[in-house]
Amino acid sequence: MTQYTVHPTAIVDDGARIGAGTRIWHWVHICSGASIGERCSFGQNVFVGNDVEIGNNVKIQNNVSIYDAVTLEDDVFCGPSMVFTNVNNPRSHVSRKDEYRRTVVKRGASIGANATIVCGHQVGEYAFIGAGAVVTRDVPAYALMVGTPAKRIGWMCACGERLPNDIGTHACPACDSFYQIGGNHCTPA
């Protein structure tokens, strides 16, 4: 007996490893090599490739494709129709499956609707990628990134509230967690 929920229209290939309490909704396809943690949620029309690792409590909204060479750590949020790539220079007539570049999204990061994460980069812990942003380089932990290409415009608390951008020690206005903010870094204080 499975300890996860699968909608009748979903396809879960034999061999996929899926944790307890995970919910897989309409028209989802999970490939045989995927590894998925506990308490995850996959919205309508999600695709999960073979070489994909997904941690616990990950929320993936409708129309997201997670291609090979992507790792999502615990508590990651993927907004509707956001995109991961896995090849930098794709061509239909040239096979580049041996050139996939690994993408890692660290614990607690949020990626907004219609954002694109170009392969080969890391999105830091609790970073926040704004809707429609295009990430073309590594993202620091707690960074707030927007635009095309994405640029850091501030910092975010682990609770999801925006922090002051000034250098120094600051408290989150919502949860009173403290952060040390420097030139291009933000760390819990």
| CA distance linking residue 27 with residue 36, whole number of Å | 17
Instruction: Please report, for residues 88, 134, 151, 173, the alpha-carbon distance to residue 117 in angstroms, rounded to integers and kept in the order given.
Output: 11, 6, 13, 29
- Amino acid identity, position 114: N
Residue range 5-163, CATH number: 2.160.10.10
**In contact, 145 and 162? CB cutoff 8 Å:** no
Q: Does the structure show a pLDDT above 90 at 1?
A: no
At 24, the pLDDT band (50, 70, 90 cuts) reads: very high
pLDDT at 2: 73
As given in the structure block, the two tokens for residue 187 are 């760390």
| CA distance linking residue 163 with residue 97, whole number of Å | 41
pLDDT (tens digit, 9 = 90+) per residue, 44-92?
Answer: 999 999 999 999 999 999 999 999 999 999 999 999 999 999 999 999 9
76 C-beta neighbours (distance < 10 Å), count: 23
Residue boundaries of the structural domains of the chain: 5-163
Strand partners, 65: 47, 83
**In contact, 16 and 30? CB cutoff 8 Å:** yes
When pLDDT is averaged across residues 119-128 and rounded to a whole number, the result is 98
- DSSP states of 84-117 as a string? E---SS-BTTB--GGG---EEE-TT-EE-TT-EE
At 183, the pLDDT band (50, 70, 90 cuts) reads: confident
Mean pLDDT value across the chain: 97
- pTM value is 0.96
